[in-house]
């Protein structure tokens, strides 16, 4: 039987009760996971894969994998998307599936989208993986537990050629045992500046608020030269992030992020790693440049 410390077991239990939310360092390249109103905003079919190993070297630390896809429909005011996410932490394995719908209208030099999403949240607690210092502990000798609950979210998203901003609550509600659970509200924004010699500078931010918890702010700067980009982020009370992004061709892009922990957990882990792959079906379509949003 795989050994998992009681501390990590309790960490998993606490995360389930508090509705642990998966973290992303490359949120600026995969907005559908944060806001259903992003669906169809790139004007083409967009498919993104993401994998994150958080707190490398820390047993039972979160491991997150996701796939998302979104596209405008024949009537470009109507947009559709879906996302599938698996998040493993401690003794817990959580799978989330969402279908998103966004209605888009032209506003000024850009477009404004109203988005909603609905899906299911499945949580499995693998109690059979727990081994305590007391052999045969009756508290932990139990069958694995599986629960499922519906979930729904909503958001707003504005995008122009050089600017974007959004506000969302990815999970407005999710029924679960344990009483009232507070959900995150997120605000995102970004702007691209043109520099000499085909260079671009993009600043972006993510503000996350959950009632009764400290507000979290992620500030990011990326600089681009042609198809390649380098970036740096600072996440309050958590990490400094180094990013690399490059275009393999006009449709296919890849990104990597390394989080250097600056919180008290820095003593116990070797940082976090995140890989992103994105493909956009841009053939015969005049679409916005995928490097920036």
Residue 79 · residue 109 · CB < 8 Å: no
| CATH number of the domain to which 34 belongs | 2.40.160.40
Q: What is the tens place of the pLDDT at every residue in 57-71?
A: 887 788 999 999 999
* Mean per-residue pLDDT, 93-117: 94
283 is a domain residue: no
Q: Tell me what pLDDT residue 200 has.
A: 94
* Mean per-residue pLDDT, 14-37: 75
Q: Tell me the average pLDDT of the chain.
A: 83
287 is a domain residue: no
d(CA 53, CA 36): 24
Q: Which residues of 22-45 are buried (b: 16+ CB within 10 A; e: fewer)?
A: bbbbbbbbbbbbbbbbbbbbbbbb
- Among 29-33, 114-118, 258-262, the minimum mean pLDDT is found in 29-33
Q: Tell me what pLDDT residue 51 has.
A: 95
284 is a domain residue: no
- Which range of residues forms the domain containing residue 199? 6-278
Our count of domains for the chain comes to 1
Q: Is 217 exposed, middle or buried (0-12, 13-18, 19+ CB in 10 A)?
A: middle
pLDDT band at 39 (very low <50, low <70, confident <90, very high): very high
Q: What is the tens place of the pLDDT at every residue in 149-192?
A: 888 999 999 999 899 999 999 887 655 544 445 578 999 999 99
Tokens of 117: 């999403």
Residue 188 · residue 35 · CB < 8 Å: yes
């Amino acid at each position: 039987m795989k050994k998992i410390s009681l501390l990590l077991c309790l960490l998993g239990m606490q995360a389930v009760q508090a509705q642990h939310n998966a973290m992303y360092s490359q949120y600026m390249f995969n907005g559908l996971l944060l806001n259903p109103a992003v669906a169809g905003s790139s004007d083409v079919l967009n498919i993104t894969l993401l994998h994150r190993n958080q707190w490398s070297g820390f047993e039972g630390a979160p491991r997150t994998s996701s796939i998302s896809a979104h596209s405008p429909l024949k009537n470009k005011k109507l947009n559709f998307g879906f996302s599938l996410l698996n998040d493993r932490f401690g003794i817990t394995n959580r799978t989330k599936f969402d279908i998103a719908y966004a209605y888009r209208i032209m506003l000024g030099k850009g477009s404004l989208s109203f988005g909603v999403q609905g899906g299911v949240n499945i949580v499995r607690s693998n109690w059979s993986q727990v081994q305590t210092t007391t052999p045969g502990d009756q508290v932990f000798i139990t069958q694995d537990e599986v629960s499922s609950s519906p979930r729904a979210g909503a958001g707003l998203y504005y995008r122009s050629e050089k600017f974007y901003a959004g506000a969302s609550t990815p999970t407005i509600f999710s029924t679960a045992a344990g009483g009232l659970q507070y959900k995150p509200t997120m605000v995102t924004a970004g702007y691209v500046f043109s520099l000499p010699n085909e260079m671009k500078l993009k600043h972006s931010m993510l503000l996350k608020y959950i009632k009764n918890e400290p507000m979290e702010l992620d500030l990011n700067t990326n600089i681009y030269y042609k198809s390649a980009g380098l970036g740096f982020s600072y996440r309050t009370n958590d990490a400094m992030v180094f990013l690399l992004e490059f275009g393999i061709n006009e449709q296919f892009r890849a990104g990597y992020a390394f989080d250097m922990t600056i919180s008290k957990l820095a003593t116990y882990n070797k940082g976090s790693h995140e890989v992103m792959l994105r493909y956009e079906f841009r053939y015969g379509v005049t679409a916005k440049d995928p490097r920036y949003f």
